[in-house]
């Protein structure tokens, strides 16, 4: 049982094909068949009715509901997950509908919803297709199938409306995880989780905004400090800029927060050493930026967990085994916010101070051009094993300075 790679599922969806989307085990724990409403066919609707067996809804955005003058159904707020049902509809008789319920007619109604020229007079209320309206920010606001559907349409360039139908078993009970995977396999459909779609949005959309800046004299030279905030994760990051030699190719350091090393001068890692050497290098070079990413303590597992991992290392585990023993990933960092910050300053071609190929790969993947430049890491009796494990296990290319 493995979810489909999201890119593969997006490709199918873009093509107008149905995919299965499951929500969290802690939520409804259901799987829905979803496809773009502008690609509706009687066959796809019939597949939902005969194999999905749930209620066939059309997930739309609020502006579509407003354009078609659809109103929210009166709610007594007993729906556990507050699904926003609006007036059910059929295409008007002038479009050739009779009862509105056949697969052919529901498909017609769905396609008409996606016609930007359609107006309220093109529909009959109440009808047999049930509009559910997504929250404005989609999955960033509510992790439901409605939001996932509209988000999928926006990501793949379809009109923001999708047919959505829960999957029920033949005996009338809801189909759960294992059954859903078999169902997907049987019908050759991609199956993804809401979490995958949410992660994709967090990673590909820029939520980083510039909030303030000022001069910052330091013992390594005078810099301009800028603060950025990721409005989704609420994490603040810092950029230190030096631009006294603007004609030189900039040097960039993307530094992961490490309070024990950077602030308390811990010898368990080489973070402070790398930070200070980077600042000196940028100062001497006269053109560069140091990006200090918060939220990266302990390779992204947080400060409490990092210290717990240190305790495990005292018992003999290496830095990666310790994270795993705590049930946490070896490395939970992503560098996407740094990319948005570099783009903010139009820094697109630079030398990157790092020994970590993940950082280089992130900037290259985002269309920036970078060459690696390295600073030596000072070896002490405290950090020797840590550095060697990073070289041998995580394949970091560290130049040791004895």
* Cβ proximity to Zn ion, 297 vs 337, nearer residue: 297
Closest CA to 45 of 99, 130, 98, 104: 104
User: In the complex, what is the shortest distance from the CB of residue 254 to Zn ion, in angstroms, rounded to a whole number?
Assistant: 14
CA distances for 377 relative to 52, 356, 374, angstroms: 58, 13, 9
- Would you give the binding string for Zn ion spanning residues 218-257, x where CB under 5 A is met? ----------------------------------------
Pick the catalytic residue from 331, 337, 351, 389: 331
* Cβ proximity to Zn ion, 146 vs 313, nearer residue: 313
Task: Kindly state the tokens that stand for 276.
Answer: 């200070």
User: In the complex, what is the shortest distance from the CB of residue 141 to Zn ion, in angstroms, rounded to a whole number?
Assistant: 35
Number of residues that bind Zn ion (CB under 5 A): 4
Pick the catalytic residue from 106, 253, 299, 333: 333
Per CB under 5 A, 298 contacts Zn ion: no
Closest CA to 235 of 208, 200, 256, 261: 208
Which residue stretch of 62-70, 258-266, 292-300, 379-387 sits at the interface with Zn ion (rule: CB under 5 A)?
A: 258-266
Q: DSSP class of residue 382?
A: T
Name every residue whose Cβ is closer than 8 Å to that of residue 171 and which is 6 or more positions away in sequence.
none
User: In the complex, what is the shortest distance from the CB of residue 293 to Zn ion, in angstroms, rounded to a whole number?
Assistant: 13
From the list 9, 103, 133, 269, which residue makes contact with Zn ion (rule: CB under 5 A)? 269
Which residue stretch of 27-35, 57-65, 271-279, 350-358 sits at the interface with Zn ion (rule: CB under 5 A)?
A: 271-279
- Active-site annotation holds for 106: no
Residue 101, by phi and psi: left (phi above 0), alpha (psi -120 to 50) or beta? alpha
Interatomic CA distance for residues 109 and 209, integer angstroms: 41
* Cβ proximity to Zn ion, 153 vs 398, nearer residue: 398
Name every residue whose Cβ is closer than 8 Å to that of residue 265 and which is 6 or more positions away in sequence.
272
Per CB under 5 A, 124 contacts Zn ion: no
Interatomic CA distance for residues 172 and 373, integer angstroms: 62
User: In the complex, what is the shortest distance from the CB of residue 73 to Zn ion, in angstroms, rounded to a whole number?
Assistant: 55
Strands (E), 219-258: 221-230, 236-243, 251-256
From the list 31, 261, 298, 300, which residue makes contact with Zn ion (rule: CB under 5 A)? 261
User: In the complex, what is the shortest distance from the CB of residue 353 to Zn ion, in angstroms, rounded to a whole number?
Assistant: 15
User: In the complex, what is the shortest distance from the CB of residue 346 to Zn ion, in angstroms, rounded to a whole number?
Assistant: 30
* Cβ proximity to Zn ion, 229 vs 255, nearer residue: 255
From the list 258, 281, 282, 360, which residue makes contact with Zn ion (rule: CB under 5 A)? 258
- Active-site annotation holds for 337: no
* Cβ proximity to Zn ion, 44 vs 255, nearer residue: 255
Interatomic CA distance for residues 378 and 371, integer angstroms: 22
Task: Kindly state the tokens that stand for 26.
Answer: 């802690």
Per CB under 5 A, 271 contacts Zn ion: yes
* Cβ proximity to Zn ion, 46 vs 332, nearer residue: 332
Beginning with the edge strand found earlier in the chain, give each strand of the sheet holding 221-230 in spatial order. 208-218, 221-230, 236-243, 287-293, 251-256, 349-353, 369-373
Interatomic CA distance for residues 118 and 37, integer angstroms: 14
What are the catalytic residues? 331, 333
Interface with Zn ion by CB under 5 A: which residues? 258, 261, 269, 271
């Amino acid at each position: 049982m493995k979810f489909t790679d999201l890119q593969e599922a997006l490709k199918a969806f873009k093509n107008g094909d149905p995919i299965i989307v499951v929500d969290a085990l802690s939520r409804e724990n259901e799987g829905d068949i979803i496809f773009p409403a502008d690609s509706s066919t009687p066959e796809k609707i019939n597949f939902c009715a005969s194999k999905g067996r749930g209620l066939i809804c059309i997930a739309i955005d609020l502006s579509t509901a407003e354009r078609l003058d659809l109103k929210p159904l009166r709610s007594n707020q007993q729906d556990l997950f507050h699904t926003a049902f609006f007036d059910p509809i059929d295409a008007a008789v002038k479009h050739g509908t009779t009862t509105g319920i056949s697969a052919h007619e529901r498909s017609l109604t769905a396609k008409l919803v996606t016609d930007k020229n359609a107006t309220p007079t093109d529909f009959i209320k109440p009808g047999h297709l049930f509009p559910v309206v997504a929250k404005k920010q989609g999955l960033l606001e509510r992790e439901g199938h409605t939001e996932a559907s509209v988000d999928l349409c926006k990501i793949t360039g379809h009109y923001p409306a999708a047919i959505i139908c829960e999957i029920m078993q033949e005996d009338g009970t809801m189909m759960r995880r294992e059954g859903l995977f078999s169902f997907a396999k049987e019908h050759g459909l991609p199956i993804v989780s809401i979490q995958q779609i949410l992660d994709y949005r967090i990673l590909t959309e820029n939520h980083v905004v510039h909030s303030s800046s000022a001069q910052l004299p330091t013992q390594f030279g005078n810099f301009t400090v800028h603060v950025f905030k990721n409005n989704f994760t609420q994490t603040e990051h810092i950029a230190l800029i030096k631009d006294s030699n603007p004609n030189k190719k900039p040097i960039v350091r993307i530094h992961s927060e490490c309070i024990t090393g950077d602030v308390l001068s811990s010898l368990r890692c080489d973070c402070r050493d790398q930070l200070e050497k980077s600042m000196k290098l940028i100062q001497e070079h006269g053109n560069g930026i140091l990006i200090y990413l918060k939220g990266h303590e302990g390779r992204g597992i947080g400060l409490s967990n990092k210290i717990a991992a240190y305790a495990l290392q005292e018992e003999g585990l290496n830095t990666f085994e310790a994270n795993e023993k705590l049930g946490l990933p070896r490395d939970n960092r992503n560098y996407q916010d740094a990319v948005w910050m570099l783009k903010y300053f139009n820094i697109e071609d630079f030398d990157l101070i790092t020994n970590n190929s993940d950082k280089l790969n992130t900037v290259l993947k985002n269309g920036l051009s970078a060459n690696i430049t390295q600073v030596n890491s000072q070896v002490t009796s405290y950090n020797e094993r840590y550095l060697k494990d990073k070289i041998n296990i995580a394949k970091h290319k560290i130049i040791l300075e004895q």
